[in-house]
């Protein structure tokens, strides 16, 4: 019996275009963050990013709508990466017996710190003044805050277990976030001369917030 011939693969033009656009977008984001990291904010122009990936500025405008659109994508990408690292840690902690309560909060704080140190350019786009004049739209800021929801869940868990007094978990998550961000911002801007000093002060800031919440009710702020 003659063997059946395999059917030729059908080319899906639309799918191919979507995959190409996705690859181009990611390449442009990678080029933009590399320029930001290696040459500073002044290098982050539409022309230089286009040159870095050997494409026209017209194509970049069609994908991002210009510099602000590109900046917004970098902003969202930074938070998406942070959220991914938090999620991976949550899965690991869930597999370890006893990894809950304050231990979980301390672990999340360390992940946040390590993320900022490994991705300083992204971090400065997310929270700093890396791109002059860029103000994230409200929708993007709401999406960014969702990346930090794991902190709210961890505080809520502590309160339900009686490890911390009952209060507003969103408010205390913001309090811890503010302390972490303050220490990290000073570190990334070079105010600490020694790396170990930066680590020490970051950990001290985290512990100061957690101890203050243990001895009294947390802030009753609006969400």
Longest dimension (CA), the chain: 83
pLDDT digit string (tens) for 112-151? 999 999 998 889 899 877 888 889 999 999 999 999 899 9
Judge if 58 and 132 occupy the same domain: no
Range from 79-83, 124-128, 138-142, 173-177 carrying the lowest mean pLDDT: 124-128
CB of 93 closer than 8 Å to CB of 104? yes
Judge if 100 and 180 occupy the same domain: yes
How much is the pLDDT for 13? 61
DSSP 108-152: HHHHHHHHHHH-HHHHHHHHS-SSTT----HHHHHHHHHTTHHHH
Judge if 178 and 199 occupy the same domain: yes
Residues above pLDDT 90, as percent of the chain:
45
pLDDT class for 223, splitting at 50, 70, 90? Answer: very low
Judge if 18 and 111 occupy the same domain: no
pLDDT of residue 5 exceeding 70, the answer is no
Q: Which domain holds residue 45?
A: 13-65
CB of 72 closer than 8 Å to CB of 140? yes
In a domain, 183, yes or no: yes
Q: Give the CATH number, domain containing residue 162.
A: 1.10.357.10
Judge if 61 and 109 occupy the same domain: no
How much is the pLDDT for 222? 46
């Amino acid at each position: 019996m003659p063997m059946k011939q395999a059917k030729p693969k059908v080319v899906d033009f639309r799918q191919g275009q979507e995959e190409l656009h996705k690859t181009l977008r990611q390449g442009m984001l990678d080029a933009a963050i590399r320029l930001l990291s290696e040459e500073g904010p002044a290098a982050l122009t539409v022309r230089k990013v286009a040159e870095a990936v050997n494409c026209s500025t017209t194509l970049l405008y069609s994908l991002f709508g210009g510099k602000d659109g590109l900046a917004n994508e970098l902003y969202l990408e930074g938070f998406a990466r942070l959220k991914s690292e938090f999620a991976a840690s949550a899965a690991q902690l869930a597999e370890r017996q006893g990894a809950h309560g304050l231990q979980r909060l301390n672990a999340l704080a360390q992940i946040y710190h390590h993320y900022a140190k490994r991705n300083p350019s992204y971090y400065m786009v997310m929270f700093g003044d890396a791109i002059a004049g860029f103000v994230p739209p409200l929708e993007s800021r709401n999406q960014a805050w969702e990346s930090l929801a794991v902190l709210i869940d961890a505080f809520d868990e502590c309160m339900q277990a009686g490890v911390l007094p009952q209060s507003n978990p969103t408010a205390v998550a913001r309090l811890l976030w503010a302390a972490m961000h303050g220490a990290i911002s000073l570190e990334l801007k070079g105010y600490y001369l020694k790396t170990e000093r930066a680590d020490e002060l970051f950990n001290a800031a985290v512990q100061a917030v957690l101890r203050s919440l243990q001895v009294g009710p947390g802030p009753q702020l609006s969400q």
